[in-house]
Amino acid sequence: MSITLDYQSVDPVPEPTAALMIRHAVQLVDEHDWWAEPISLDLRQRDRRLQGSTRIRLGGYGLVEVPRDEEALMVCRDTRFVVSSLARWSSKYGISWTLSEIGTDIGSIVGGKPDEKLARYIAGLCTNLKLPASAEADVLKKHEARKY
């Protein structure tokens, strides 16, 4: 199943700040070896809120089959990376975020910190993983064809 991590700013964002943050997101596309799809941000014209989405699971990506333990490790990795990026921007630019998965609220980031609900969501993804974080590079290499 294809699952995206969706995020949007709680309040409208001034255009210069939004443009700067979108540039930051574009830089992260190349700086991180994304499991499924990279972070993305754009400014919704109707309400001036930043919004984005990151596909965090490979499910539905052609013929790619990944063992569940490997997918779980990588989903945890990319989710933590997105949340830490949003938290950093929240702290630096004073922007609060709401996050959801499949239309379900999973928490928020305010003042640079994930709330308790988001912390529980991440803990649910990242607790009891069967592979250590040190296996990430090997999993990325093993499934290099996922990008093509």
DSSP conformation letters of 118-139:
HHHHHHHHHTT-SS-GGGHHHH
CA dist list (Å): 118 to 91, 104, 113, 114: 16, 12, 10, 6
Q: State residue 61's pLDDT score.
A: 58
| Domain that includes residue 129, residue range | 4-142
Strands 50-55 and 113-114: unpaired
Q: State how many domains the chain has.
A: 1
Is 148 among the domain residues?
no
Q: Which residue has the tokens 């569940």?
A: 68
Compute φ and ψ for 74, nearest 5 degrees: -75, -35
Instruction: Please check the confidence at residue 105 and state whether its pLDDT lies above 80.
Output: yes
**Per residue in 5-52, pLDDT tens?**
999 999 999 999 999 999 999 999 999 999 999 999 999 999 999 999
Is 116 among the domain residues?
yes
**Per residue in 128-141, pLDDT tens?**
999 999 999 999 99
Instruction: Please check the confidence at residue 60 and state whether its pLDDT lies above 60.
Output: no
